Amino acid sequence: MSDQDPGLTEGRARKALGQHFLFDPDILRRTALAAGPVEGRTVIEVGPGPGGLTRALLKEGVGKLIAVEADERFASALTDWPEAATGQLSVHQGDARKVHWEKLIGEAGGETPAMIIANLPYNVGTPLLVDWLKTGPWRGEMALMFQKEVAERIVAGPGTSHYGRLAVLAHAVCNAHIAFTLPPGAFRPPPKVDSAVAVLTPLPAEKRFEDVETLEKVSTAAFGQRRKMLRASLKSLAKSRGVDATEWLESCDIDPTARAETLTQEEFRALARRLTTLYASPISSRT
């Protein structure tokens, strides 16, 4: 591991935690800056591991870096860094899926909107992203390392093979693109697939969709049986709400025989809005 910064923490990656570490300084700097300048900003990093990206972010002058690490070895080592003593670095040991993010930012003395920049552990990346997409204004720009196929699913457009629930949810609140890709050999240990950094920039407030919870339910049902016509794939969801799927689709000017991958972001939004207006409260509060 000759390319490792001598100031970083030694320790083998744990497969159970989905750990694959980056040590190349150029790649780490590109990742740190992929979503824009971090100087003076509050940044959240999930899964810092030995601290390669952590070091790159600190070098770029973050105002407050909040590192969330489940692995006690690395969390403990990060608390000994000089930046932790000065308060520039705040370390939280625990499962990122259980964090109350806005509360954590406040307790660390950070400011919002906070950027999220991370080489995400492969086994928690997707659920974390979905949770972040459904959050409020505390979340700012994101630059996230995923398996390449997952990144492609985030940025995909209608009519493409990767288009699905993740793309619908991402584009409901963000502009998304892939900044760059990396081969397995860039990591220690090498994963079995290529990786990519997906950059997600929040849409202006007036362009964001207001009910991502409902949109998630609609898109999950629609793509759950993606080879079927929408009147069939949405039938169970519609029935559970006392709605006829064909009538629901037609009320949104959508062909009931169409398939999910042909629907635009606006059409998915229309379906979610229409389903919500049929009741006194959103779907998310009724399930």
The token duo for 282 is 């959103």
Sign of CA dihedral 251, 253, 256, 262: negative
Task: Give the amino acid at 176.
Answer: A
- The answer to the question of whether 80 is labelled as a binding residue is no
Phi, psi (deg, nearest 5) at residue 24 = -65, 120
- The answer to the question of whether 22 is labelled as a binding residue is yes
- The answer to the question of whether 20 is labelled as a binding residue is yes
- The answer to the question of whether 69 is labelled as a binding residue is yes
The token duo for 235 is 């039938």
DSSP strand pairing (187-188 vs 139-147) = unpaired
For residues 187 and 199, give the distance between their C-alpha atoms in angstroms, rounded to a whole number.
Answer: 20
- The answer to the question of whether 26 is labelled as a binding residue is no
- The answer to the question of whether 47 is labelled as a binding residue is yes
Nearest to 283 by CA among 221, 236, 214: 214
Could you list the residues known to form a binding site for S-adenosyl-L-methionine, using ranges.
20, 22, 47, 69, 95, 119
Could you list the residues known to form a binding site, using ranges.
20, 22, 47, 69, 95, 119
